[in-house]
Amino acid sequence: MTAAVETSDLTRRYGHTKAVDRLSMQIPERSVFALIGPNGAGKTTTIKLLMNLMRPTNGNARVLGCDSRALGPRELQRIGYVSENQRLPGWMTPGQLLEYCRPLYPSWDEGLARELEASLGLTARTPIRTLSRGTRMKVALLISLAYRPELIVLDEPFTGLDPLVRDQLIRALLGASADRPATVLVSSHDIDEVERLADWVGFIDQGRLMFAEPTASLLSRFRLVEVVSDAAAPADVQDPRWIVQGMSGRTLRFVDTAHAETDADLRITAAFPGAEIRMSPLPLRDIFVTLAARATSMRIEEAV
């Protein structure tokens, strides 16, 4: 597997706080990698470190084979970046911004730019500062895709957008990289959208990467288990691979995080003899919520 992005012990500290803590990961080429995690987990900081917008305190990152700290114009011609925080030149109209960006990229594809403009419904001729947030994100995506970058970095692109605009953005993203696949790194809270896009998922919490794996593998690994029994209680859940969600009447619910293993069914049956056991796959959103909730409760326990 060739990595488009590779980090090794990447760390960024603010005083005594570690925003990113020894983060090591690889983003395979041509994959769509979703970096998910709760608020303040370190997603945006990680992306800023990768984009050379910040300097790491320790460790290093390589982006398209280049040390992130040495990322220069040549590399940036191969990277598209869209962020909810980015300050676009508000005085320009979308057309003027396209004109401004065009000479910066030798690989600028005017045809693709027109296609994207049409598919995103970008007809505004007024300055960007007067546009809605959704339209601004469309503009940002357009000028980040029109030169067919090898790596597209999206930092919380869907936050605060209505479903229609989200859909337009995702379709534009997928459409633009259909004939020449690019690597996509997207951080988002919008797990439903990410699930449609991502073939890899990385979960980050408190600056630490908890795991990073293909979406398919992740979805097959997690199962919601419901045990209906008079005897079952949360205390019976001893396996560290199980995350208890709670008890409702006679039904105990927990998430098995290692269901891909061959003996997973046997382990569960053996733990609850005679009980009625129902197992169902978890959508990515529920996996995220489960992991985030566990991370929060563990922090509370540690603090106590």
Partner 1 sequence: MKLLVHLVRADLRQFRWAILLWLVLVAAETVLTAIRPAFLTDLRVYGHVGMILNLLWFALQMAMLLMVPLIVQAHPAVGTDAFWMTRPIAPRKVFASKVVLLSTLTVLIPCIARLGVMLWIQVPVREALLVVLDSTIARAAWLALLLTGAVVTLNLARFALLCGAVFVSLLVFMTILFMWARTEAVETLNGRSGPPVLPPSEDPTQLILFLLGVIVAGFGLAAIQYRTRLRRMSVPTGAGVLVLMAFANSYWPFPFLKTPSALPAWADDANAIQLRAASPEIEMSPVSGWAIEGVPTLRHGRTRAIVSGLAPGWMPRLVLLGGSVTLSNGATLASRDRGYQSAPEIEGSSDYPSRVVAREVLGVQRVFLSAPPGPEMAITLMLPANEIDSMMPANGTYRGYFGVYLAHWEAAATLPLRPGAVFQDPHYKFAIEQVDTGPDRQIAVRAREWRATSSFDRKPRIAYAFYVRNAQHTHAMAGNASEPFEGMIATSGWLPFDFTAGGGLAPFFVRAVLVSFPLSYGLPEQKVDWDPRWYADAELVIVRTTETGAVLRTLDMPQVSLVAKR
Binding site for partner 1 (CB under 8 A): 48, 51, 53-55, 72-74, 76-77, 79, 81, 83, 85-89, 91-92, 96, 100-101, 103-105
CB of 51 to partner 1, least distance (A): 6
Torsion, CA 108, CA 114, CA 115, CA 118, rounded to 10: 150
CA 295, distance to chain mean position in Å, is 17
- Report the residue number, 73 or 111, with the smaller CB distance to partner 1: 73
Residue among 112 and 227 whose Cβ is closer to partner 1: 112
185 or 287, CB closer to partner 1? 185
Judge contact between 157 and 84, C-beta under 8 A: yes
Q: Determine the Cα–Cα distance for residues 94 and 212; give it in Å rounded to an integer.
A: 36
Please report which helix (H) or strand (E) contains residue 244, including its range: strand 242-248
Closest by CA to 171, choosing from 119, 109, 135, 215, is 119
Closest distance to partner 1 from the beta carbon of 236 (Å): 49
Q: CA-CA distance, 144 to 233, in Å (whole number)?
A: 52
Nearer Cβ to partner 1 (93/251): 93
- Give least dist CB 12 to partner 1, A: 12
Residue linked to tokens 């692109």 = 157
Q: Between 50 and 232, whose beta carbon lies closer to partner 1? A: 50
Minimum CB distance to partner 1, residue 52 (Å): 8
Shortest CB 119 distance to partner 1, Å: 23
Distance CA 273, CA 96 (A): 69
Q: How far apart are CA 247 and CA 2, in angstroms?
A: 45
